[in-house]
Amino acid sequence: MQHLPSAQPADDSYPSRGQCRSALRPRIDPVVYAAPSANAPLDSDRVERYRREGYLVMDDLFSATEVESLQAELQRLRSDPHLHESPLSITEPGSGALRSLFQVHRCNPLLRRLAADPRLADIARYLLDDEVYIHQSRVNYKPGFRGREFYWHSDFETWHVEDGMPRMRALSVSLTLTENVEQNGPLLVIPGSHRHFVQCEGDTPAEHYKKSLQQQEYGVPSDACLEQLVAEGGIRSVTGKPGSLILFDCNLMHGSNGNITPYPRSNLFLVYNALCNRVVAPFGTQPARPEYLSSRAQIEPLAAAPRFSLESV
């Protein structure tokens, strides 16, 4: 499918790249959109921590059997030779090992049901105060010995410039399906960095996504901006046992080191976007990225669903 250029929106609240110079700008959107509620799926302490730091870690949402089912499914996907040739897959530079597999909520029944599970979707609906849909889904595999790093970035900057996400009304959940320890390249975050928008420099090349998914060179913060963010918030490693859930704001600055240990790291990512925040034309100069990276043609609000056991799939 050819992705044709579309008109650039006139109202750009978060300009980046092109003629922009590297700079920190204040966030103009809320972090938590909902009002306090006794029926909220998160207690007030967790909501306030998310508002303040931009992320949460929860270890108690899924049973051991459910985690084992998901681990087995991810291993099955990783072992499927046809997926390595699919446009939905990204391989490691050099080794050819599977790095990421996209659009898993559409092509996999188990992961589709997981995306709608109220243990995840209800949190997203509450924090974003709207119906939600999956903007992007993927499995990230960081193989042992040769798993490459993910450089510092704000997901929103890319989703805004390259996909046309208007405002910061989205969040990601990362479900850890292997041990995430200090040594095997866990998620690194800069707490509080979500309160700033980091303008980036450079003109986005044509079909940038084909290279950026292996190694991002545009849409990355300057050293000076990173130094200021780290001076304010520090850096934390987000580690956890299999089945831990990491919830983080779309604008949180994050990355990860390479993995030179024998211990692989595999995480499932689901990006929930508010229905009112559906993508428009990209705010950059390039055509919209493909559907498997940014839901555009197939925006399907997640229906409210009863909690179910993944073991039954």
Domain assignment of residue 248, yes or no:
yes
What is the share, in percent, of the chain residues with pLDDT greater than 90?
58
Number of domains making up the chain: 1
Q: Look at residue 118 and give its three-state secondary structure.
A: helix
Domain assignment of residue 164, yes or no:
yes
Domain assignment of residue 39, yes or no:
no
Interval 45-104: pLDDT, tens: 999 999 999 999 999 789 899 999 998 988 888 777 776 677 787 766 666 667 788 999
- Position 279 scores a pLDDT of 97
**Alpha-carbon gap, residue 184 to 191, rounded angstroms:** 21
Domain assignment of residue 13, yes or no:
no
Average pLDDT, the chain: 88
β-pair partners for 199: 23
Domain assignment of residue 230, yes or no:
yes
Are the CB atoms for 262 and 286 separated by under 8 Å?
Answer: no
Per-residue pLDDT of the chain (313 residues; tens, 9 = 90+): 333 334 445 589 999 999 999 999 999 999 999 999 888 999 999 999 999 999 999 997 898 999 999 989 888 887 777 766 777 877 666 666 677 889 999 888 899 999 999 999 999 999 999 999 999 999 887 777 777 778 899 999 999 999 999 999 999 999 998 888 888 888 899 999 999 999 999 998 888 777 666 556 778 999 999 999 999 999 999 988 999 999 999 999 999 888 788 887 888 999 999 999 999 999 999 999 999 999 999 898 998 776 766 655 5
Look up residue 264 and give its two tokens: 């692989």
What global pTM score does this model have? 0.91
**Alpha-carbon gap, residue 127 to 110, rounded angstroms:** 25
Q: Look at residue 177 and give its three-state secondary structure.
A: coil
Domain assignment of residue 114, yes or no:
yes
Domain assignment of residue 312, yes or no:
no
Are the CB atoms for 229 and 113 separated by under 8 Å?
Answer: no
Domain span holding position 89: 62-301
Phi-psi region of 28 (alpha: psi -120 to 50; beta: other; left: phi over 0): alpha
Domain assignment of residue 306, yes or no:
no
Report the CATH number that the domain containing residue 126 is assigned in CATH.
Answer: 2.60.120.620
